[in-house]
Amino acid sequence: NAGVTQTPKFRVLKTGQSMTLLCAQDMNHEYMYWYRQDPGMGLRLIHYSVGEGTTAKGEVPDGYNVSRLKKQNFLLGLESAAPSQTSVYFCASRGETQYFGPGTRLLVL
């Protein structure tokens, strides 16, 4: 039982490049979330999903897209990366509480 996993762990992008962050959970949870963590700002919700095939915007959705084609996977995409998207990204799924992945550090130059 791996819980919540994220790939990659670290990535460097140039401005304008695209990438996809993958989140996988093996706990059969319906709800999944993508957060970004920035110093002094805690975690802010980017997008979330309440089930396979559904997604919704969170607090800071601009510049990101998501997909939930399979229940266990939740993908976060950056179509055209900007330096403001330099952050640590966390995925979570919700059972009795939220279970977090180990995070992806993204640096946009």
Partner 1 sequence: AQSVAQPEDQVNVAEGNPLTVKCTYSVSGNPYLFWYVQYPNRGLQFLLKYITGDNLVKGSYGFEAEFNKSQTSFHLKKPSALVSDSALYFCAVMEWPLDMRFGAGTRLTVKP
27 is written with which tokens?
């706990």
| Coil vs helix vs strand at 42 | coil
Handedness of CA 66, 59, 7, 63 (dihedral sign): positive
Using the rule CB under 8 A, is 22 a contact of partner 1? no
Residue 17 dihedral angles phi and psi, to the nearest 5°: -75, 165
Residue 84 dihedral angles phi and psi, to the nearest 5°: -65, -15
Q: Count residues contacting partner 1 (CB under 8 A)?
A: 22
Site string for partner 1, 46-85 (x = CB under 8 A): --x-x-------x---------------------------
**What is the closest distance, in whole angstroms, from the C-beta atom of residue 85 to partner 1 in the complex?**
19
Residue 18 dihedral angles phi and psi, to the nearest 5°: -120, 160
**What is the closest distance, in whole angstroms, from the C-beta atom of residue 80 to partner 1 in the complex?**
26
Using the rule CB under 8 A, is 86 a contact of partner 1? no
Chain residues binding partner 1 by CB under 8 A are 4, 31, 33, 35, 40-45, 48, 50, 58, 90, 92, 97-103
